[in-house]
Structure 1
Amino acid sequence: MYLLLANSKKRSLNPKIRLAFPWVLWQIWKARNLFCFEQRRFNAEAVIDKAMEEAAVWLHLHSFIPDDSPEITVEEMASQSWEKPPLGSFKCNMSTVWEAQTGNAGAAWIIRDSFGKALFHSRRSFVGIRSQVEATMIVLVWTTEALNDIQVKRIILETSSPQIQKNFSQASLPWSLHSLWRRFRRALDRLETYRVVRINDGCNTIAQNIAESALQVQWQQSYLARNGLDWLDARINMEASVVV
């Protein structure tokens, strides 16, 4: 109680957090009553998510906090196989695999040019991931920040994740993932041009297989490398040879 009241007076805090303490108290009280009288238990994350969502609605409605960053328009492609980007363009395919039992996630991305040649790829494993949605947000942030680091400025980003909807916004995510969404938005804004495209699983098998390999014990080390992977070269070349 003291901590909530003290933080509510800190002007250095994000207003969305600082002004939300009444809703946090209310949700804690509701969760306590449900536990005492109905033996229903809620975890802390669910209580906070509900409080922050309700607070955000009221605070936005009464103009206490600024609007969220603009939503991201996600294109949808119906093709059943990977397609090369237009001449002079680059395409980055991303994927993540989440294990609910362990909380581990494997993530990968691969950049190819308009001839289908692999230019860069990266693989990484993450631990303590609580949901598929969180795993998806982590791979989006990790990939786009890596693109910033290697100075890629123009890119088509492709993912087969069903969590990425046509109008992708911060409001569509649990409050606990809002900070990841803002990092993703900032990384995108550093690019000169970009498109975010949701594709079918069959178009994303290369990135998917690399992500799966990140969960194998002998390959859990993270890295970024030029070109593709030897064990996937044949399939990368096959996709590059397809004429659409």
Structure 2
Amino acid sequence: MNKEKKKKINVGASWDGDSMISGAAWINRNAQGQVLSHSRRSYSGVRSFLKAELLAMSWAVEAVKNLRLNCVIFEVSSKEVYELITKSLRASVTRDLRLQFYVASGGPCWLMALINLEAAANGLSSATD
């Protein structure tokens, strides 16, 4: 991969729990760190900081697609978002041929820590209670 064509997208989010308004921003830089473009937006009715971070990441991915950017590296400061994305890639329905439909009580074991963390942040009982 040519270093000149690599781009880095830094994604950030903010959240105000009282108003349930979140902000999202991304900045596109080249391999030398020069800013090529950036954007920001807001969301209403956001119930948690994790949801705000996921909305920001999803929006940044959509923007990269719409701008037809290639060779992109995304950078997020949220460990939870990083783990959610990387761990979900290990549990692919199509790649792992998990073709049987099912409904199960509770969440998937690989996601329970994150679900419980979000529940605790929102003052809810854990998903295992």
Partner SS, residue 81 of structure 2? coil
**Residue equivalent to 2:87:** 168
Structure 1 partner of 2:103: none
Trace 1:9-158 onto structure 2 (pairs within 5 A): 86-158=3-75
Unaligned runs of 5+ in 2: 92-107, 116-129
Give % identity: 33
Distance 2:13 2:82 in 1: 16
| Conserved 8 A contact 2:25-2:38 | yes
RMSD of Structure 2 on Structure 1 (CA): 1.9
**The structure with more radius of gyration:** 1
Local SS of the residue matching 2:80: coil
Q: TM-score, normalised by structure 1?
A: 0.34
Amino acid across the alignment from 1:141: S
Query: In structure 2, do the counterparts of structure 1 residues 138 and 112 end up closer, same or farther at CA, with 3 Å as the change threshold?
Result: same
Instruction: From the two aligned structures, give the one with the greater strand fraction.
Output: 2
- The answer as to whether partners of 2:5 and 2:71 remain within 8 angstroms in 1 is no
Structure 1 unmatched ranges of 5 or more? 1-85, 175-244
Deviation of residue 145 (structure 1)?
Answer: 0.5
Asked whether the equivalents of residues 96 and 106 of structure 1 are also in contact (C-alpha less than 8 Å), the reply is yes
Q: How many residue pairs are counted as aligned between the two chains? A: 89
Moved over 6 A (4+): none
Aligned to 1:139, the other structure's residue is in SS state: helix
Query: What is the one-letter code of the residue matched to 2:87?
Result: F
Aligned-partner residue type, residue 66 of structure 2: D
2:76–2:82 contact (8 Å) kept in structure 1: no
